Amino acid sequence: MLSQYIPVLLMLVIGFGFAAVTLIMTHMVNPRVKEPIKDSVYESGLPPQMEARLRYPIRFYLVAMMFILFDVEVIFFYPWAVVYKKFLTYSSFIFWEMVVFIAILFAGYLYLFKRGAFKWE
């Protein structure tokens, strides 16, 4: 069973190795001339104003929260989807079960919609 994953492991090692070797190789090959102006923050040629790590809109945090909520629901669908076809030959209970699940999920979606979670301006 686990031997399926040996190629994946090899792929990880070779993939990361490729990235690392290319980056280290260029680091050794290319020229470098230190100059104070090169080290400054790029801000379209103007002197940089303030720190870059400012407070950013709460909306991004909200999107991350909603993603976690919905992604967990999507993960719940996978085992259901795999057995769906086989289970249908016994009874249609599995269909109504998922209709109820989607209805509850959609109610939550409508709640978020009404509270203006999807509003971007």
Partner 1 sequence: MSVETLNVIIALVKIILVVYVAMMVTDLILILAERRISAFIQDRLGPNRVGPQGILQPLADGLKFLLKEEVIPNHVDRFLYLLAPAIILTPALMTFAVVPFGDQITTYIAGHLVTIRFQIADLDVGILYIVAIASLGVYGLVVGGYASNNKYSLLGGLRSSAQMISYELPMGLAIISVVMMTGSLRLQDIVVDQFGMWNIIRQPLAAIIFIVAAFAETNRLPFDLPEAEQELVGGYHTEYSSMKFASFFLAEYTNMITASALIVTLFFGGWHVPFLHQANLPVLWEQIIQILAFVIKTGFFLFFFIWVRWTLPRFRYDQLMNLGWKALLPLGLLNIVITAAVMAL
Instruction: Please identify, using beta-carbon distances, which residue of 4 and 47 lies nearer to partner 1.
Output: 4
Q: Is 33 in the site for partner 1 (CB under 8 A)?
A: yes
d(CA 78, CA 7): 24
d(CA 53, CA 79): 41
Give the x/- contact pattern for partner 1 in 6-25, rule: CB under 8 A.
xxx-xxx-xxx-xxx-xx-x
d(CA 98, CA 87): 13
Which of 39, 44, 41 has the alpha carbon at shortest distance from 52? 41
Considering only 29, 46, 58, 100, the residue that binds partner 1 (CB under 8 A) is: 29
Q: What are the backbone dihedrals phi and psi of residue 20, each rounded to the nearest 5 degrees, phi first?
A: -65, -45
- For partner 1, the binding residues (CB under 8 A) are 3-8, 10-12, 14-16, 18-20, 22-23, 25-27, 29-33, 38-44, 51-54, 56, 59-60, 63-64, 66-67, 70-71, 74, 77-78, 81-86, 88, 92, 95, 98-99, 102, 105-106, 109, 113, 118, 120-121
